[in-house]
Structure 1
Amino acid sequence: MSDTTPVAGDEYTVPVAGGGLAVTRWGEGPGVPVLAVHGITANGHSFARLAAELAARGGPPLHAPDLRGRGASGALPGPHGLAAHADDLVAVLDRLGVERTVWVGHSMGAFVSCLAAVRHPDRVSGLLLVDGGHGLPAPAGTDIDSVLGPAMVRLRTTFASPDDYRAFWRRHPAFAGRWNPWVDAYILRDLAGTAPDLRSTCDEAAVRTDGAQVLADAEVLGAVHRLPVPARLLWAARGLMDEAPGLYTPERLAGLPDTLATVELPDDNHYTPLFSSTARLLAAQVHALVQETVQVQRQL
């Protein structure tokens, strides 16, 4: 798969509380569509490369919503919070006529996916968690600003042009030396307004509500320990600012259930698995989960 061939998807909307949730679909392959859930200040186009890698394997289509308060769903009002996202995502499956399927969640999207599996076990057949889903003890006073750094600052910043926005992200340590057209298409999805007053599509209130739950909500943090379906956690060796160690280490993962398989991504930071050649590994993991869940269903 070339680094120079981003794939445009087909977009549609799903009725949810307060309006329409924007969803992008990639792929025409056989099988039940995979549902992909993005991170806290991201959008559904973060999964474009994974969708292309799935298609290259002859795999199933991938549907990736822009979560409430992000991307083309940026104007959707509350309710905010991870349970609201889980309900919105179930509405996507209803729209597709899909009873249950494999979910892929990155960062906050992994927490949403775990919560959905616990709250809606009949709608989730397997989970691929990418550098998220397992909460870590946060020191007193920790807030989402200190966790996200520049990604949070941009929500209060205006940009004169798309190139200005590109320059902001190119300075981010996670993308230094790692820029490619997949990243470019993803970050431009986040721009709204008219030059020279362009802004991120992310609703700051939504981000703060969701972030507080990822940091401290007992139901959200406990979901990964109660998963009723096969699940795998792929964790990056480096963090949001390309620092080492990243969010997870073998020691930090020691308390997870034995049924949750974990795989280290030694060459990636928190952002890059979706945009680098690591997306091939993610596609292989999705394929394996799909096959595993098919076998489980045949045995029922």
Structure 2
Amino acid sequence: MPESTELDLKLASGTVHAHRWGPTDAPLALCVHGLSANLHAFDYLAERIAGPSRQLVALDLRGRGRSEITPPGSYGLTAHAQDALEAATLLGAERFDYVGWSLGALIGITAAGLAGERLRSLTMIDHIGTVDPAAYAAVRAGLNRLDAVVDDPADYLAAIRAAGVVTPWSEYWDRIYRYELGERADGRYSPVTDKAACLEDLDHAATGEVVSSWAKITMPALLLRATVPFGGGLIVSEADAVALRRAAPGVRVVDVDRNHFGIMTDDGMVDATGELLAKG
């Protein structure tokens, strides 16, 4: 298991919590999670590719996990991309590899448009900016879990598992969703992730504005596309993957036989991401 530490980064926009695997002087891969997830989404990847010659740092986006909840209007792809670039600077990396899942992938594409010269590589895990309406509806409905109040964290995990969306389930998902909970003054538990922040980001991402930055993906880049439907649709259709490659011919597309969640604990995802990072 690679050495790991937790840290807080004081950004201009607010305090962001992070988890580092690997030594501080190794090349940096900055990892950014999906809409309502948290930094533990990258545990599976980090435990397999971080080591003496590679550090992975995963962030909790503002409004999620242990990061600061900032005011309405402070979110959106550009704001998060600026956070990611500033975080890399504070971590001592002028150039770095970027790995993003879902919303995190869109933030990476936005960062490529803002400061592409800083990205040594870009890995986009199952999102590029356009979404099937059925999948979008499933994502939005999934945010309702953030209203939950439970007596026992096990009940929260059991309800999410029973919904059958996160598959295959493993102890990594226990980590992600247990971390999502905080204890209330009354001794019960509720998610600490801010639903309003997630909705603001979801609405912003749904505009498809990020597509205008596809052509800015000139660094070595990888799209990992989940081919098992989620909520009745795909997050990235085959046609959209083709359109991305027309705009950014250097992007390598790898299909993974998982859904939008299962891709994060898939060895094919690990292998393809590790291969791209090794080229840096």
TM-score, L = length of structure 2: 0.88
Gaps of at least 5 residues in structure 2 are none
Residue of structure 2 in register with 1:248 after alignment = 236
> 1:270 offset after TM fit, Å?
0.3
1:10–1:25 CA contact under 8 A, matched in 2: yes
1:29–1:55 CA contact under 8 A, matched in 2: no
Gaps of at least 5 residues in structure 1 are 295-300
1:130–1:234 CA contact under 8 A, matched in 2: yes
Q: Aligned partners of 1:36 and 1:54: how far apart in 2? A: 13
Secondary structure, counterpart of 1:67 in structure 2: coil
Asked whether 1:70 is paired with 2:57, we answer no
> 1:168 offset after TM fit, Å?
1.6
Asked whether 1:80 is paired with 2:69, we answer no
Secondary structure, counterpart of 1:80 in structure 2: coil
Percent sequence identity over aligned pairs: 26
1:36–1:103 CA contact under 8 A, matched in 2: yes
Q: Aligned partners of 1:283 and 1:137: how far apart in 2? A: 26
Letter in structure 1 aligned against 2:164: P
* Structure 1 residues 239 and 17: CA distance shift in structure 2, 3 A: farther
Letter in structure 1 aligned against 2:162: R
Letter in structure 1 aligned against 2:60: D
Q: Aligned partners of 2:268 and 2:238: how far apart in 1? A: 20
Q: Aligned partners of 1:122 and 1:254: how far apart in 2? A: 24
* Structure 1 residues 217 and 45: CA distance shift in structure 2, 3 A: same
Could you give the per-residue CA deviations for residues 237-292 of structure 1, whole angstroms, max 9, x where no partner exists? Answer: 12334x4x5223323322122322111102x11011222xx2x3333323322343
Residue of structure 2 in register with 1:265 after alignment = 256
Could you give the per-residue CA deviations for residues 224-243 of structure 1, whole angstroms, max 9, x where no partner exists? Answer: 233131111011112334x4
> 1:152 offset after TM fit, Å?
1.0
| Alignment equivalent of 2:274, drawn from 287, 292, 297 | 287
Letter in structure 2 aligned against 1:37: V
Letter in structure 1 aligned against 2:48: E
> 1:129 offset after TM fit, Å?
0.8
> 1:88 offset after TM fit, Å?
1.1
* Structure 1 residues 227 and 11: CA distance shift in structure 2, 3 A: same
Residue of structure 2 in register with 1:14 after alignment = 9
Asked whether 1:222 is paired with 2:196, we answer no
Could you give the per-residue CA deviations for residues 128-169 of structure 1, whole angstroms, max 9, x where no partner exists? Answer: 11111242475xxx996x241542111222222211111121
Letter in structure 2 aligned against 1:112: I
Residue of structure 2 in register with 1:297 after alignment = none
Residue of structure 2 in register with 1:100 after alignment = 95
Residue of structure 2 in register with 1:174 after alignment = 165
| Alignment equivalent of 1:232, drawn from 197, 218, 222 | 222
Residue of structure 2 in register with 1:26 after alignment = 21
The more displaced of 33-42 and 227-236 is 227-236
Asked whether 1:116 is paired with 2:111, we answer yes
Q: How does 1:153-192 map to 2 (within 5 A)?
A: 153-175=144-166, 178-192=168-182
Could you give the per-residue CA deviations for residues 80-100 of structure 1, whole angstroms, max 9, x where no partner exists? Answer: 111111111112111111011
* Structure 1 residues 74 and 158: CA distance shift in structure 2, 3 A: farther
Letter in structure 1 aligned against 2:171: P
Letter in structure 2 aligned against 1:101: F
Letter in structure 2 aligned against 1:229: M
* Structure 1 residues 251 and 262: CA distance shift in structure 2, 3 A: same
Secondary structure, counterpart of 1:86 in structure 2: helix
TM-score, L = length of structure 1: 0.83
* Structure 1 residues 33 and 89: CA distance shift in structure 2, 3 A: same
Letter in structure 2 aligned against 1:36: C
> 1:117 offset after TM fit, Å?
1.0
2:100–2:123 CA contact under 8 A, matched in 1: yes
Supply the RMSD in Å over aligned alpha carbons.
2.5
Asked whether 1:211 is paired with 2:202, we answer yes
Secondary structure, counterpart of 1:290 in structure 2: helix
Q: Aligned partners of 2:224 and 2:162: how far apart in 1? A: 26
2:16–2:68 CA contact under 8 A, matched in 1: no
